[in-house]
Structure 1
Amino acid sequence: MKKRYFISALLLTMSFLSCKKETVHTAPPVPSYKVVPISTSSTTLLAEYPASLEGVTDIDIRAKVDGYIEKIFVHEGQEVKKGQILFKLETQTATQEAAAAKAKVTAAQVEVSRLKPLVDRNIISDVQLETAKANLASVRSTYQSIIARINYATIKSPVNGIVGTLPLRLGSYVSSQTAEPLTRISDISTVYAYFSVNEKQQLDIMMNTDGKSFQDKINQMPAVNLVLSNGVAYEQKGKIETFSGQANMQTGSFNVRARFPNANRLLRSGESGTLQIPTALQNVIIIPQNATIELQDKRIALVVDTENKVKAVPIVVRSVPGGRFFVVDSGLNPNDKMLIEGVGIVTEGTLIKPEVVDYKTVIDPTKK
């Protein structure tokens, strides 16, 4: 009987201990977040903008007179010189008209020659001679007009350049009113890259460039790069030449033009690319913009203290062109460990397990 009570008491004790063990709560794991030890850096940041390319001159070639295309002397993509013949329109009718007009000029000239000595000898009135002279001027003007039409039928290139598409073929009827041009000649010895920046970007660019006046700042801007549509950087550097005088009222953007030399004719009108504006920074603290938050008109960075707890720090920053990085003027110091993961989620005072990331990889200007 005593043995039975002993076993029951033992089972009850074990059951109690088991229930007590199940109610013990384990501490949650400390979350791990990436942090970067802050340091000063000298680097070149690249701000990128989509750009469209155009030759220094793009001229639509159109017919000045009516006629059928009789000959085409060029092919698409051909390089031509100023004055080189491109097209010839049919001139048979005009040639016949010119022959008839020339005969009238000859007859009018003969009439003037016949009347002149008669006037000199007072045989006839000079009114007849003046009438004959007026008739000569009229028929001569008609003849010259017809010759001009014939000359206009031979269409020449007004500039050195590259022939564009040839949408019309032999026998096509054209006139000065034809909507589609015969072709387009592009002078691509120099190519312009056109792109747009918003108001903030324009201010960032100008405020990070030396110079007193606006034009002085443009003149002192560094050379720019052009990345072609295949991802390869163009071998020649370009120079920003102009900003539009005012922002577009609909988009709030400024149009910008950069010039690139194109001696090898690699660049063509109508192509696209990416223009890169470099900004050189010396011995500054650079941080990613997405590693900060804006709170009550203040820019905040999160740092980790000696106890691995998150602390919010107000910082003073300025933007650099491109919109990806800030230069920190105050608030952060070298060797501060700044949170670059979980920003906007992790609250101040949270205990974390820092996962240290190399500072140089964070501010790599080539990293997207």
Structure 2
Amino acid sequence: MNSLGRFTPFAILAVSAMLSACVDQAGAAKAPAAPPPAEVAVLTVAPQRVALSTDLPGRLEAARIAQVRARVPGIVLQRAFHEGSDVKAGDVLFRIDDAPFQATFQSAQAALAKAEANLAQITLKAQRYAALVDTNAISKQEFDDVTAAQKQAAADVATAKAALATARLNLGYATVTAPITGRIGRAQVTEGALVGQNEATPLATIQQLDPIYVNLTQSSSEVLQLRQALAAGQLKSVGRGEAKVRLLMEDGRPYPHPGKLLFSDMTVDESTGGVIVRAVFPNPDRLLMPGLFVRAQLEQAVSENAIVVPQQAVQRGADGASVMVVDPNNNVAVKPVKADRSQGDAWIVSEGLKPGDRIIVEGVQKVKPGATVKAVTWTPGDAGKAAKDGKPVALQVKAQ
């Protein structure tokens, strides 16, 4: 009997089954495994109180400007300040030759003394005549003449006093003082210059720089939309004196000191279609200069239940803005939204989202609508770590 004869039919069937199982196992090992769901960082939408701010262009303006002028004619004898320095109200700036005014003042003093002496003499005479006229020692006409002379002498005294006051003022004007506290610019005259001849000659300019104003321009359409939203109850007005203003310098750097809103003009500029809004800022370091172009972030209203989402969560296309949301079954869907107002690095969504919606902030590029994902909580500044570790972290959305 040959070697094949030793194998029974049952043995042959067992070997065939074993070979088939090995083939099935090898095939199963070669089949690719299904990929795990993609991890995305999500933000759960919750309403919050947000102060709505508007970016507006503007220019700085000194709080007060005083043009120092010569009020009396004369020769400038001295300049008593350093150009570009800070001066206080009442500080001496210029001295004009006061010799003529001193002489006029002394002459007025003498004229007043003479008028007062004459009035005293006439008064005594009138008193004596008053006693004599009752006894008919003098005529009524003589008494009336003395009474009139007394009144004339009193008028002369008043005139002399006025002349003396004028002479004192002119003498004082010869010493030019600072009308306000601020920074003085360059001198517009030098010693020896003749000033005040038939005009008030400009001598220098003082500007008060602390605090300093910023005049902002807001379009009338924005003002109208804001007032309509306030009237409809969609927004609340910021309390008087509570509206904060933050300044961005010409190079984009933020100004360290916050300001406050003073007023909004009631008239629309016909040439620009804008409304002037004025704010005031402290300027202790004199960093802000009049005429400088700036941008300001002005708080004008408050939304009590605003939906705020990070900017990277909002996608914009031909059909408008949209966000990707994760439903309770962890499936991805697209929701169109209306996000027409920015707040820092976030968008304020007015339509399309409701509290409790989970929107995808990180990982949008890895998923498509209908896909199943693994959602982890997103947090600003640590989104990558959260998505990597899969650990929930506290949500902090900054809102001014």
Output the TM-score relative to the length of structure 2.
0.58
Match of 1:76, SS state, is coil
CA gap of 1:154–1:48, structure 2 versus 1, over 3 A, is same
What is the deviation of 1:236? 0.9
Give the conservation status (yes or no) of the 8 Å contact 2:75–2:193.
yes
Instruction: Flag the 1:212–1:108 CA change in 2: closer, same or farther, 3 A.
Output: farther
From the superposition, tell whether residues 147 and 277 of structure 1 become closer, same or farther in structure 2 (CA, over 3 Å): closer
Match of 1:121 in 2: 128
Which residue does 2:179 correspond to in 1? Answer: 158
2:217–2:274 Cα contact (<8 Å) kept: yes
Match of 2:190 in 1: 169
Distance 1:219 1:290, change over 3 A: farther
Unpaired runs of 5+ residues, structure 2, are 1-40, 130-137, 325-333, 366-379, 382-400
Partner of 1:330: 352
Question: How many angstroms does 1:256 deviate by?
Answer: 1.0
Letter in 2 for 1:198: S
CA separation in 2, counterparts of 1:51 and 1:239? 15
Determine if contact 1:68/1:173 at 8 Å carries over to the other structure.
Answer: yes
The correspondence for 1:60, drawn from 64, 67, 76, is 67
* Residues 37-48 of structure 1: pairs in structure 2 closer than 5 A: 47-48=54-55
8 A Cα contact 1:193 1:259, kept in partner: yes
Is the partner of 1:95 in helix, strand or coil?
helix
Q: CA deviation at 1:285?
A: 4.4
Question: Partner residue of 1:248?
Answer: 269
Deviation of 1:213 after TM superposition, in Å, equals 12
Contact 2:315/2:321 (CA < 8 Å) preserved in 1? no
Match of 1:70? Answer: 77
Distance 2:114 2:166 in 1: 18
* Contact 1:209 1:217 (C-alpha < 8 Å) held by counterparts: no
For residues 66-115 of structure 1, the C-alpha deviation after alignment (integer angstroms, 9 at most, x for no partner) is: 33322222222222222222222222222222222322222222322333
Q: CA deviation at 1:253?
A: 0.9
Query: Could you tell me which residue of structure 1 aligns to residue 208 of structure 2?
Result: 187
The aligned amino acid for 2:351 is D
Query: Aligned AA for 1:130?
Result: K
What does residue range 287-298 of structure 1 map to in structure 2 within 5 Å? 291-292=316-317
Q: Is the 8 A contact 1:46 1:277 kept in 2?
A: yes
Whole-angstrom distance in 2 between the partners of 1:72 and 1:224: 40
TM-score by length of 1: 0.63
Contact 1:204–1:320 (CA under 8 A) maintained in structure 2: no
Change (3 A) 1:228 1:196: same
Residue 44 of structure 1 and its aligned partner are, at CA, apart by: 9.4
**Aligned-partner Cα distance in 1 for 2:201–2:250:** 28
Task: Write the mapping of 1:130-279 to structure 2, written as runs, cut at 5 A.
Answer: 130-175=151-196, 178=199, 181-203=202-224, 216-217=237-238, 219=240, 223-277=244-298
Q: Tell me how many residue pairs correspond in the alignment.
A: 299
Q: Which residue of 2 aligns with 1:96?
A: 103
Distance 1:177 1:141 in 2: 22
- 2:67 alignment partner AA: D
Give the CA deviation at 1:216.
4.2
252-261 vs 281-290, which moves further: 281-290
Residue type at the aligned position of 2:320? I
Listed one character per residue, the Cα deviations across residues 130-155 of structure 1 (whole Å, up to 9, x for unaligned) are 32332232233222212211112222
User: Aligned with 1:121: secondary structure?
Assistant: helix
Instruction: Give the residue type in structure 2 aligned to 1:319.
Output: R
Counterpart code for 2:208: D
The within-5 A match list for 1:101-116 is 101-116=108-123
CA displacement at 1:330 relative to structure 2:
2.0
